Amino acid sequence: MITSREDSSWVSIAEQLSTEMDEAKLAILVKRLCSALDARQGPPTQEQTKTDIEQIVATSQGLSA
């Protein structure tokens, strides 16, 4: 089962990625994001994928405002 802490971890990393400009830091964040996503247990369900997309869209809309 995926915990809310695991969800918030990858979301937090993705948010950092969306604003980082330094290439070296971007590479580190990408590795961290991949690791966080790999740590999720089992393949995502259709509902989880929908939730993930909604979180990403909400975050990107907040950044562009």
Give the pLDDT confidence of 3-52 residue by residue, as tens digits: 455 566 888 999 999 999 999 999 999 999 888 887 876 677 888 889 88
CA atoms within 13 A on the CB side of 56: 11
Write down the pTM of the prediction.
0.55
Per the CB < 8 A criterion, the answer to whether 56 and 37 are in contact is no
Q: Which two three-digit tokens encode residue 28?
A: 């580190």
pLDDT in tens, 45-55: 888 889 888 88
Residue 27: partners with Cβ closer than 8 Å, 6 or more residues away: none
